[in-house]
Structure 1
Amino acid sequence: MSFVNPTYLWSFLGLLLPIAIHLWNKSEGRTIKVGSIRLLKESQTSKSSWLQFREFFLLILRLLLVSLICLILAAPVSISKRSNLEVAYAVEPSLLKLKSFRTLVDSINDDNEVYLLAEDFPAYTEEETELNFEKKHFENPQYWQLAQQFSKLHSDSLVIFTKGRLTGIKGKRPEISQKVNWILIDSTKSTNEIIEVTSFKDSLELLQFEITQNLGKFSKQRIAAKDSTKFHFPANTLRTELDTIHVQFYDDLELKNQVEYLKVSFTALGKYLKRPFVFSEFNQDNLDEHSFDNHGVLVWLSEKELPKFSNRRLIFRPNIYAEKLIKKTQKPGVYQLTDTLHRKNILEYHLAENLLQLLELHPKIASEIAEIDTRNFDRELLAPNFKIDSKNSYLAKFDWVPWLWLAFLVVFIIERIVSKLREQ
């Protein structure tokens, strides 16, 4: 056993305090002169012996309480060396919805350790017929992020059953010490689904996502509103109404041509999107807290504090180190214009295309695609890099502190009961 904070072992000197109090209470009392002590000696019975034992027992309990506090502060842990498993299995939870595959996993689980490919790698049990995980927790696991935690499984080699979804590959390819055999369960199927319907005055724009031979692509189709009955719209289809886009300007810096450049860029963008833009401007004379409409985009060309505005905002904050003309900030819906606009940077950085992100025309598309995207990643590209420093054993640590707190609570309750009986 070792201690996380061995310095606190000096606190065991506190055991001297209960002992000192006990000895102090045993000191001689006042001398009282009486005529005879014959009757007092005869009254000594076994009851007085029991009282002495209870005093000694109460002292032991208080010493034990102080000792437990000292141990809790020192934080004892037990460290033991254990051997790795030869092989462990991990299963992407969504695969367990397939009855045929679940039968295979049940047979593997008879003689081997099987875990779920999810955060903290919970153990798989056959009795768990229905998964109680939140959808985001298991439907689209992040493979490479989970691969960095494979050491928690303490196995020399791993077999991973997975769908290998494209949405699960993000960031830099990790390096791990385990040998991993990725087994792809290919459930890719052709998909052509309408994921968003945009309503105009007399027409509809259908945004479709199509998967063919593991390739995904978007397509748009414009139809008359009266022809919508000829199409099947899934229940989860996003429906938006984007007819006119409002852009509001507030400019007290009065930098030359900034508002004009932005208006021209928004207008060009509107022609591409086939949506008209409506512009409005505010100045210091007509500015108050109710001036701004919380719809559309607010362009804030000012050093004043940004007003409360629930939609997208473009603020002018020059930054010579910025790599983009329009940069998204950490605040949701807030974008930063990093330089004064002129003809050169408008053309070089494609201002109109940069302004497109402010509109957020399809804010919920990513979550919709994640649910219907069944494309697989190539097995060779899915596997992390193997790092040759595999260890056949690992150190297992057991923390005694929670159990010490439990013991402290039990002893404290007993001490209070004995102390109450003593008073009676």
Structure 2
Amino acid sequence: MDRLICGDVGFGKTEVALRAIFCVVSAGKQAMVLAPTIVLAKQHFDVISDRFSKYPSIKVGLLSRFQGKAEKEEHLNMIKKGDLDIIVGTHSLLGNRVVYNNLGLLVVDEEQRFGVKQKEKIASFKTSVDVLTLSATPIPRTLYLALTGFRDASLISTPPPERVPIKTHLSAFGKEKVIAAIRYELDRGGQVFYVLPRIKGLEEVMDFLKQSFPDVDIAIAHGKQYSKQLEETMEKFAQGEIKILICTNIVESGLDIQNANTIIIQDVQQFGLAQLYQLRGRVGRADREAYAYLLYPDKSLLSDQALERLAALEECRELGQGFQLAERDMGIRGFGTIFGEQQTGDVGNVGIDLFFEMLFESLSKVEEHRVVSVPYQSVEAELLLELPREQLLNWIFQCLAELHASLPALIKY
């Protein structure tokens, strides 16, 4: 199995993965859960540990770069011996030192956050291991493979009961707007995410908010903090002790904090479309109405592509539109070279439909100009060829692309 589960933020992709993990572990095999960030990996570990706490025979482990050497070695030995049934972690799980005893399932959460090199490593598992990929907004290349049938895909389109759409406001930055939005959320007993694209501006925002809200608990979170400090900050925010969290996009993936129902994203033009959709999904995870404020410095300074991204995000306001947004992203950026390392590409300048219309039209003319083949001696041989599916697909696309590039020289229109 190599299946993409595409569902909106909070629609139950993790629940599907948990049930698949239980089936695999019950059959006596190991399951690996791969997450892009340590914050999300820790959350998955807590959820899985709690969910399977009634089954003492199922052992769950967390592997990350923040662990001490002795603890990491212990976990590696347990994985090798088969003492751990479920292994949760970041890309460190793909390292050469991690040797699995009897791996049966690989779950990849937030697929759009992984690079090509990491996906090549993931692809190497696919010949012998079932792979379940989860994403609300798959990258253009993954989406294209799903749409064309080269990869199995399932779409979760039903929202949870009582879930209401997030109200999205796109406007120029203004301190008065920020203060009014935060005050409204705090007055109704909620919490606020304040997201910036870089670590550099976090302290400046902290000073501004401290002056505006001197009696409110405010904290900073970013990926370069010590693991203990980051973990404590996220725990306090989850418990409701911290009311405003100023952070980078480290909170982008999978965090489930139901009392946080306002998110303010500054310098929105520096984020990608999938990133913005994921960030917006951090709020509105309960039955309370949520608000997302997307703030840019000056609209005249934005590029055409940035304006197109923001327009797409503003249009996709309803529940369950992550898949449609991913399609828009594919149209804006192109789906890449597919067989190479580009996960997006210049096909976006031509348009996907027109590109394939041109490709198939060119291929249809090959028959008219076929060169007479040279007679050859027929030889019978029994060969067993095993190629990973992803490698085979990449090779096919490479051949098609090379053929398309050479057709103008071969065919006179």
Normalised-by-shorter TM-score class: under 0.3
Larger radius of gyration: 1
Greater fraction strand: 1
Please, what TM-score do these two structures have when normalized by structure 1?
0.24
Greater fraction helix: 2
